[in-house]
Amino acid sequence: MIYKIRMSVVKEFLLLKRDLGGLIILFVMPLVLVIAVTIIQDSTFKTVSNSKIQILLVDKDQGSVSKTVFENLEKSSYFTVVTQIDHKAVTEEIARENVYRGKFQLAIVIPENLSSDLQTKVEQNVEKIVSNLGLTDSISTAEPQRIIKEKEVKLYFDPAVQMSFKNAVMSSIDKMISQIETKSIYSTFQKQLGEETINFEQKNFITFKEIIPRINNKEVLPNSVQHNVPAWTLFAIFFIVIPLSINIVKEKTQGTFVRLRTNPVSNLVVIIGKTITYSIICMIQFYMMVAVAVFLFPSIGLPSLNIEGHFILTSVVALFSGFAAIGYGILLGTVASTQEQSAPFGATSVIILAAIGGVWVPVFAMPKIMQYIAKSSPMNWGLEAFYDVLLRNSSFVEIIPQISLLFLFFIITTAIALFYDKKKRTV
Amino acid sequence: MQPIIKIESLSKKYKDAEMYSLNDVSLDINEGQIFGLLGPNGAGKTTLISMLCGLVKPTSGHFTIDGLDYQHQASKIKKIIGVVPQEYALYPTLTARENLHYFGSMYGLKGSDLKDKVIVALDLLGLLKFADKQVQTFSGGMKRRVNLIAGILHNPKVLFLDEPTVGVDVQSRNAIIDYLKELNQNGTTIIYTSHHLAEAEDFCDTIAILDQGQIYAQETPSILIESVKDARNLEDVFISLTGKALRDDI
């Protein structure tokens, strides 16, 4: 049996060696994919963090608040403020038109009298508090207070702008406005208390610090490479489904499958031969992509993949992901009658599995129902195992659930293929 | 002479088919025979051979090959039979030698024994100088010869040939037939199907004419010809037994 398996592996490698198209799918396309996607994702990341986005500011207030907003926006590393177009001050109408046509991604309209009304509102509130505390007698001479309506800072977004960008900008502006309000409250208190010489500490008392996981006593900052290489490597490994299913369909249409069925060799031996061959290919694919990410990426301006201390565990994950992909390929090749069935179905289903599995959109950001579905995708099990090892510094024991699921998937799909084939013989 | 293949009331009805493809066929094929199975399209020849090779399961009936029961000793049967299918059951991008090494190894042949057998067979069928060329570059006749070698490398006791000379030139056909005769002289029982009746008349020592899943006649070619009035050759016998109606089937 071992000899027959060995000869089957030799045959499979010879077939692959002579199939240029198959070799390109197996080795060149995944490399192109991982390089292209990482460059794109990395540049997107840099665009958000490094280059500034132009935004329109319509200042109807002309007061201290709008001035502060302008200054803060200018100071921020994300935006450049535009207040004039073609030497004309930007009005709300001009801003809306430009944003809705996609010339600008965002316009901020600061309403009239925002500064004065904010100041008045704050003063009214502070006065109330101070008089309640009995620190002033002004309450006795109080005039009826003017009612200040709530103010609205209008934001216009380019409809093509993504929701995540919108949310980030809104949260950033909200924070800026809150700081202005706080500052104004502090200043009014100072005035009311007649303590204008005292300087209140206005720096944020609560700050944030991201604690980065330490691996081998070094901080490993997750970057686009750490996220993308495992995800797209997994995607590439699963693309093995296409050449493998074509290989099986070809055997059926060429008649070699029928010949093998008349030989004293079980279908299991043939399948083991294919599994060994394609597992080796998966591992070669994986090591090629890791080599590119470690050695080539730094020379094209990308961060290098940090695989230090994780080489063996990531190899284990790649191997078991490969098993899952091979099982799926064997099942598809067994059920399909023609290459026209297996190739498009294989490609489309791998893309669907990738989408469901969280290769493009993280699972936590998916709707609840999709999160449940994601957990049934072998691509998700593989991706989680890769992230556990590379980003969460997990041990072998911690990834056992994911690799067990991947292996179980391989066993189930292969068993279904063998059963289907046996059933088909009893025509 | 002992029957090497013993078939008893073998029937096959495919799923969803209205009629039996093979209906209650009983047959003895003796050791050392060249047994021809002739019949029009859809007669049941391929179904019968497929069942004997283990590709299709019978609906009812029973058969043994060399005393081995097909239901319980199928893997042992596979070791002593050779099959040459009608289509070129070869890997086109592998060379003739690589194909033969692979299929030979599936019978457990290995090392120098396998290598030598491949060389001898390729040489006998005039293909040795093309041994390291990819099969996809071969002519139809060359592919047929490689296809034949792949089925006989392990010296089978029983060889099933499904139209082994279809679509080949006269030279290739002669080479194949001569080689098969030599194999038979060395003890291999041959079961052969063909639409080439003149070839069957010359090659086979016993012929069974099959139609509509049943055997209409089984004899030596000469007795068959004698048994039909005014018949000059096997073709006349064939037409007389199976009729002139077209047998197109979907």
- Written as one letter, the residue type at B1 is M
Quick one: average pLDDT of B20-31?
Answer: 87
- Closest CA relative to residue A110, chosen from A37, A165, A177: A177
Name the helix (H) or strand (E) containing B7.
Answer: strand B3-12
Quick one: average pLDDT of A287-298?
Answer: 89
Judge: A7–B106 Cβ closer than 8 Å, yes or no.
yes
Residues in chain A closer than 8 A to B101 (CB atoms): 7
pLDDT of A321 strictly over 90: yes
Quick one: average pLDDT of A5-13?
Answer: 89
Cα B149 to Cα B175: distance, rounded to the nearest angstrom: 12
Handedness of CA A161, A167, A172, A174 (dihedral sign): positive
How much is the pLDDT for A30?
Answer: 83
Judge: A256–B90 Cβ closer than 8 Å, yes or no.
yes
Q: List the single best residue of B13, B106, B115, B136 to mutate versus A (max A Cβ within 10 A).
A: B106
HSE-CB at B186 with a 13 A cutoff on CA atoms is 12
Judge: A254–B134 Cβ closer than 8 Å, yes or no.
no
Quick one: average pLDDT of A159-184?
Answer: 80
- Number of neighbouring beta carbons within 10 Å of residue B141: 19
Which A-chain residues 182-241 have CB contacts (< 8 A) with chain B? none
Best CATH choice for the domain B3-242 from the list 1.10.10.10, 3.40.50.300, 3.40.50.150, 3.40.50.720: 3.40.50.300
**Token representation of residue A335:** 């059920």
Quick one: average pLDDT of B148-165?
Answer: 88
**Structural domain boundaries in chain B:** 3-242
> How confident is residue B244, by pLDDT bands cut at 50, 70 and 90?
low
- Written as one letter, the residue type at A22 is G
For residues A245 and A340, the answer to whether their CB atoms sit within 8 Å is no
How much is the pLDDT for A414?
Answer: 94
Per-residue pLDDT of A228-241, as tens digits, reads 788 888 888 898 89
pLDDT of A390 strictly over 90: no
pLDDT of B147 strictly over 80: yes
Give the neighbor-by-neighbor strand order of the sheet with B206-211: B81-84, B158-162, B189-193, B34-38, B206-211, B214-219
Cα A238 to Cα A321: distance, rounded to the nearest angstrom: 8
The CA distance from B89 to the nearest CA of chain A, in Å, is 4
Q: Which residue has the higher pLDDT, B2 or A36?
A: A36
> Could you give the C-alpha distances from A330 to A234, A245, A272, A425, in angstroms and in order?
18, 6, 10, 17
pLDDT of A160 strictly over 80: no
Cα B234 to Cα B194: distance, rounded to the nearest angstrom: 12
Best CATH choice for the domain A53-192 from the list 3.40.50, 3.30.470, 2.60.40, 3.40.1710: 3.40.1710
How much is the pLDDT for A202?
Answer: 60
The CA distance from B104 to the nearest CA of chain A, in Å, is 9
For residues A14 and B98, the answer to whether their CB atoms sit within 8 Å is yes
Cα B113 to Cα B116: distance, rounded to the nearest angstrom: 5
Strand A154-157 vs strand B3-12: parallel, antiparallel, or unpaired? Answer: unpaired
Predicted TM-score of the model (pTM): 0.76
Quick one: average pLDDT of B144-151?
Answer: 89
pLDDT of B218 strictly over 60: yes
Q: Which residues contact A356 (CB under 8 A, 6 or more apart)?
A: A370, A373, A374, A377, A379, A380
How much is the pLDDT for B182?
Answer: 87
Per-residue pLDDT of B66-91, as tens digits, reads 888 888 888 888 888 998 888 888 99
What is the distance, to the nearest Å, from the Cα of residue A22 to the centroid of all Cα atoms in its chain?
30
How much is the pLDDT for B248?
Answer: 60
Give B134's DSSP letter: B
User: CA geometry: angle at B142 spanning B136 and B144, to 5°?
Assistant: 95
Judge: B92–A254 Cβ closer than 8 Å, yes or no.
yes
User: CA geometry: angle at B142 spanning B140 and B145, to 5°?
Assistant: 110
Judge: A258–B98 Cβ closer than 8 Å, yes or no.
no
Cα B179 to Cα B171: distance, rounded to the nearest angstrom: 12
> Could you give the C-alpha distances from A374 to A20, A324, A352, A356, B217, in angstroms and in order?
34, 16, 10, 5, 65
Chain A interface includes B134 (CB < 8 A): yes
- Written as one letter, the residue type at A352 is I
Chain B interface includes A16 (CB < 8 A): no
| Closest alpha carbon within chain B to A255 | B89
Cα B73 to Cα B67: distance, rounded to the nearest angstrom: 10
Residues in chain A closer than 8 A to B90 (CB atoms): 254-256
> How confident is residue A45, by pLDDT bands cut at 50, 70 and 90?
low
Quick one: average pLDDT of A394-403?
Answer: 89
Q: Which range has the worst mean pLDDT, A334-338, A388-392, B8-12?
A: A388-392
Chain A interface includes B94 (CB < 8 A): yes
Which ranges constitute the DSSP H helices of A206-266?
224-238, 241-254, 256-262
Chain B interface includes A422 (CB < 8 A): no
Chain B interface includes A263 (CB < 8 A): yes
For residues A91 and A156, the answer to whether their CB atoms sit within 8 Å is no
pLDDT of B35 strictly over 60: yes
pLDDT of A73 strictly over 90: no
Q: Where in chain A do CATH 3.40.1710 domains reside? A: 53-192
Residues in chain B closer than 8 A to A18 (CB atoms): 93-94, 134
Q: Which residue has the higher pLDDT, A209 or B19?
A: B19
DSSP string, A319-370: HHHHHHHHHHHHHHHHH-SSHHHHHHHHHHHHHHHHHHHTSSS-GGGS-HHH
Per-residue pLDDT of B109-129, as tens digits, reads 888 999 999 998 898 888 889
Which A-chain residues 17-36 have CB contacts (< 8 A) with chain B? 18-19
> How confident is residue B189, by pLDDT bands cut at 50, 70 and 90?
very high
Average pLDDT, chain A: 82
How much is the pLDDT for A342?
Answer: 84
Per-residue pLDDT of B40-65, as tens digits, reads 787 788 888 888 888 888 888 988 89
